[in-house]
Amino acid sequence: MGQKHRNLIAHITAPENFERAHQKAAKGRRSSAGYLHFKEHDAAWLAKLRHDIQEKVYEPGKPREFWIHEPKPRPISADPFRDRVVQHALCSVIAPIFEAGMMPQSFACRKGRGMHGGAIHTQALMRRMENAHGKRIYALKTDFSKYFYSLQHETLWRMIDAKITCRHTRWLIERFTSREGIGVLIGRLTSQLWGGVYGTSIDRMLAQTMKISTFVRYMDDIVVLSPSYHYLHELRGWMEMHCRHAMGLKFSKWSVSPVEAGVNFLGYRIFPGYKLLRKDSVLRARRKIISYTRAGNWDALRKFLAAWLGHAKWADSRNLIESLSRQHRAILEERHVLA
């Protein structure tokens, strides 16, 4: 049985923990109305939040909901700034507890891992298996249908209760995640943690029951590598059965293909020898550059390019970046911005 963690609430409500939580919540939001309102009396706000949690009278506010449409339409929930501070304070204490029990094949929302780490590890695994087996390697690629909307709270709370016995901390977790129901809010910090925790069930099924180590999971996306095409088809059936009965999840799609055809994973098309950006990512980038440039929205263009180029630099994308740069200059010249 794993270690039980007690008396966590004192660490969560410690003044230094809340100060760090305040700083983390402020990143990228220093111009928001919520941050500015909080900052005006931040010391008093932090003291009140700590007091309310200690006295068990804290209640989160109503999140603001909006839609994003890329890469696909989905609703996002944005909690009030004060609640983001509380979630950072909570997760800074409990996230390491759950992360310690995660499998090394899990890369989502983990320090030192993330999307780029997962892509690099997947490619290295492809190369290593090709060298070891000396024959074609296949990839089983799966993802779940409506993953965050399908997380069963009863199943999730069994995982939480197995690790945390501090009743006060459980009470605080329940302010954001009830013990009953299905689904968690996309955009909430605790939801990112629970998405990673929930997936450990399929990780352990693969690693401990099926004795497979050649897989990578990033939240709801999974890639399993094997030299046997037929074994991966059989494995897919076992995975679907486990996910349906133990997790209440089902696959939205799956495929088995040779790795030399490339694996669409973590925003890249990953090959054993190189990585390319996904075609839909390139198409969206071209459209945004055209849209922002023609509208003269230079601030939005700068922010988009900073984020997108940070992602692109991890792929073999030099020619693509040069092509997009020429496209940008051509639009500017068309609008007589350049002499």
Q: How many CB atoms lie within 10 A of CB 76?
A: 14
Asked if the model's pLDDT at residue 201 lies above 80, the reply is yes
Residues 49-101: tens digit of each pLDDT: 999 999 999 999 999 888 876 667 778 889 999 999 999 999 999 999 999 99
**pLDDT of 338 over the 50 cut:** no
User: What number is the average pLDDT over the span 276-301?
Assistant: 84
Tens digits of residue pLDDT in 120-177: 999 999 999 999 988 899 999 999 999 999 999 999 999 999 999 999 999 999 999 9
For residue 9, pLDDT beyond 60: yes
What's the CA gap between 94 and 97, in Å, rounded?
A: 5
Q: Alpha-carbon distance 21 to 190, whole Å? A: 13
Q: pLDDT at position 335, please?
A: 61
Provide the pLDDT for residue 293. Answer: 82
Spatial contact of 8 and 169, defined as CB atoms under 8 Å apart: yes
Cα four-point dihedral sign 322, 327, 333, 338: negative
- Say how far apart CA 89 and CA 84 lie, in whole Å: 9
Q: Which two tokens stand for residue 85?
A: 């501070």
Band of residue 2 on the pLDDT scale cut at 50, 70, 90: low
Mean predicted confidence (pLDDT) in 250-271:
94
Strand partners, 251: 144
Angle between helices 42-54 and 15-26 (to 10 degrees): 120
Q: Give the residue-averaged pLDDT of 213-236.
A: 96
Tokens found for residue 178:
């009830």
Whole-number average pLDDT of the chain: 90
Over residues 13-52, the pLDDT tens digits come to 999 999 999 999 999 888 888 999 999 999 999 999 999 9
pTM equals 0.85
d(CA 157, CA 34): 31
Full 3-state SS string of the chain: CCCCECCCHHHHCCHHHHHHHHHHHHCCCCCCHHHHHHHHCHHHHHHHHHHHHHCCCCCCCCCEEEEECCCCCEEEEECCHHHHHHHHHHHHHHHHHHHCCCCCCECCCCCCCHHHHHHHHHHHHHHHHHHHHCCCCEEEEEEECCHHHHCEHHHHHHHHHHHECCHHHHHHHHCCCCCCCECCCCCCHHHHHHHHHHCHHHHHHHHHHCCCCCEEEECCEEEEEECCHHHHHHHHHHHHHHHHHHHCCCEEEEEEEEHHHCEEECCEEECCCCEEECHHHHHHHHHHHHHHHHHCCHHHHHHHHHHHHHHHCCCCCHHHHHHHHHHHHHHHHHCCCCC
